[in-house]
Every structure is written in structure tokens, then in C-alpha cells.
Structure 1
Amino acid sequence: MDKPHKIPESVLVVIHTPDLEVLLIERADRPGFWQSVTGSLDTKDEPLIDTAARELFEETGIAADGKHIVLRDWHLSNIYEIYPVWRHRYAPGVTHNTEHVFSVCVPRNIEIALSPREHLQYAWLPYLEAADRCFSSSNAEAILQLPRHFQS
């Protein structure tokens, strides 16, 4: 059975501490490519906040509970060209994705449980260093905007 095409709409979740250290994760399918949590909608009608919570948990083991761990919707969307290496995952002719940005503030000592199928390792970095390490320009730009979206 063929795997269904990915929906070209996704979330980006910047995970950070109150002092703006950012969690980055290294892709298993592209070692050396570091990023925040990302993921596509499972269905076209899946609420973005649900996608963000699902991806956050699947990729890091962090559960957004709405009380202590709260996802914050930045109401910011980026449209970018899908890297050619990943276009086969989308329907023929799809070349662009719309990404919706979220963040979540967590304690620095929170337990991280990576999905080994998706990621090799993680690192906590000051936000400027994290932005420099990201392979995705939209991810780097979101990290650079973090101080404007978070006041401790």
C-alpha cells in the first residue's frame, strides 16, 4: 500500500527555557541538519495547536498540558520552497509548504525522549547559537524572534 502524500502545511515548535536556551534536535535522515520540532498536519482539518502538541510529544516526549507546559501560537506563518530531496513525500507538483510557528517554554532540566527513528541527538544552546546551527532559514528566523515573543 502506498504511503499517503504529506499535507503541505506544517508546524514549527521552538522549545526554549526562560533564559532563552533553545533545544535543537539533529535529523536521523540527514546527520548534521539541526532543527526545532517540525511536522505536517495528519489531516487537512487537524487543528494547528493539536499538530504542534502531537509533534512536540512524538519528537521529544514533552507533553503540552496547557497548565505547566503551554504551547504559544505566534500567529505567524512562513511559506517556503520544499527542499527537492523531500518533495517526493508530497503530491506531484507540490513545491511549497506553509509553516505555522509555535513556541513552548520548559524548565532546562525537563526530560527529553527523542524518537530514534527521527532524531540522533539534542542540544541546548543560547538562542543566537541555535539560530546559527539551524539548516532551515525559517527556523533560524523564528529563533531570532524569540526574545520578542517571550518575556520571562
Structure 2
Amino acid sequence: MSAYKQPVSVLVVIYTPQLETLILERTDFKDAWQSVTGSIEPGETLRNAAIREVKEETGIDASLYQLQDWDLVNTWEIYEIWRHRYAPGVTENTEHVFGLLLPERVEPLLSEREHSHWLWREYGAAAEQVFSPSNAEALRLLPEIARRFGVDQPIAGHA
């Protein structure tokens, strides 16, 4: 078993039918907010990695809700501060995006090792707050993708 992380990860946008999204503040990078994210483990499927990461980071059992493979893949340069976690010479990560539709907001149980705070934010505000460009883009795509999965959002100002 390698001591290095695999350069393949999942990003899970947790959201409600009203397009409120859960974002988390990292403990190792001040003011860095993000959706759930993490590398796959050897032999693990992307879907199982998404379920595991959601459970580890928020305490939410994603298998009880609608976990959506958004069929969206991003490749990005690994931030210098985290490159030591990967094998020498590895500089890029491939990220697979998922959504997790919850019927309503829930209070997460954070992994104190990974995250210090959480917020539920409207998807556009969350996109402005997260530090990762690929996370921001996934959040901006939420209305379009949610419709693809049958989520009808309320019209602004109407419940």
C-alpha cells in the first residue's frame, strides 16, 4: 500500500431543493471554504469514495439520499502546500464531481481534523466563497444540473 495519495478525487456538492449548499472551512488552510472533497483509496470506486468522504467530513450517510454522478471531470494543478502528499513528480489531480441532494438542511458533524466551521449558503454565494475554481464552477452549474436530476427550484420570491 502506497503512503502517497492517488491523484484522483471526488468533489461532492451537498445541496437542498432550494439550492442551498453546504460548505466547510478547512483547518489546514485559513479562510479556505469548500464542498466535500477527497482522494479515492486503492480499489475504491468513485461512488464509494464520495459516500465515504461525505460520512468522514460531515457525518451524513450519503447512501440514504440521492447521490448524483454529475458526469463532470476536472483536472487541476495540485496546490504546492499539498504536493508532499503525492508521489514525487505528481502535480495534477483528476476530480470527479458528484451532487448529494438532501430534502432539507442538516447540521453536519464535522471531522475536527479536516474542518473547523460549516455554513449553508445559497449556491451563488457559496461559489463566491469557495477557494477552488473547480468547486466554484460546480456550484455555479448547480441549477442546470439539479434540473437534469428532476429538482424543480422555486422561483425567486415564491415558495
Percent of paired sites with the same residue: 53
- Give the 3-state SS of the residue equivalent to 1:92 in structure 2: coil
- Give the 3-state SS of the residue equivalent to 1:22 in structure 2: strand
What does 1:1-152 correspond to in 2, within 5 Å?
A: 4-43=3-42, 45-65=43-63, 68-150=64-146, 151-152=151-152
The CA distance in 1 between the partners of 2:105 and 2:24, in whole Å, is 16
Contact preservation (8 Å) 1:62, 1:111:
no
What amino acid is the match of 2:11?
Answer: L
The Cα offsets for residues 88-123 of structure 1, whole Å up to 9 and x where unpaired, read as 100000000000000011133423100011000100
- Give the 3-state SS of the residue equivalent to 1:87 in structure 2: helix
What amino acid is the match of 1:130?
Answer: A
Q: Hey, what does 2:155 align to over in structure 1?
A: none
The Cα offsets for residues 35-69 of structure 1, whole Å up to 9 and x where unpaired, read as 000000111x311000000001000011022xx51
The CA distance in 1 between the partners of 2:69 and 2:103, in whole Å, is 19
What amino acid is the match of 2:66?
Answer: V
The CA distance in 1 between the partners of 2:13 and 2:62, in whole Å, is 13
TM (norm. structure 1) is 0.93
The CA distance in 2 between the partners of 1:110 and 1:131, in whole Å, is 20
The CA distance in 2 between the partners of 1:100 and 1:57, in whole Å, is 17
What amino acid is the match of 1:21?
Answer: E
Aligned residue pairs total 148
What amino acid is the match of 2:61?
Answer: A
- Give the 3-state SS of the residue equivalent to 2:141 in structure 1: helix
Change (3 A) 1:53 1:82: same
User: Runs in 1 of length 4+ with deviation above 4 angstroms?
Assistant: none
**What residue ranges of structure 2 are gaps of 5+ in the alignment?**
153-159
Contact preservation (8 Å) 2:12, 2:100:
yes
- Give the 3-state SS of the residue equivalent to 1:99 in structure 2: strand
**What residue ranges of structure 1 are gaps of 5+ in the alignment?**
none
What amino acid is the match of 2:18?
Answer: D
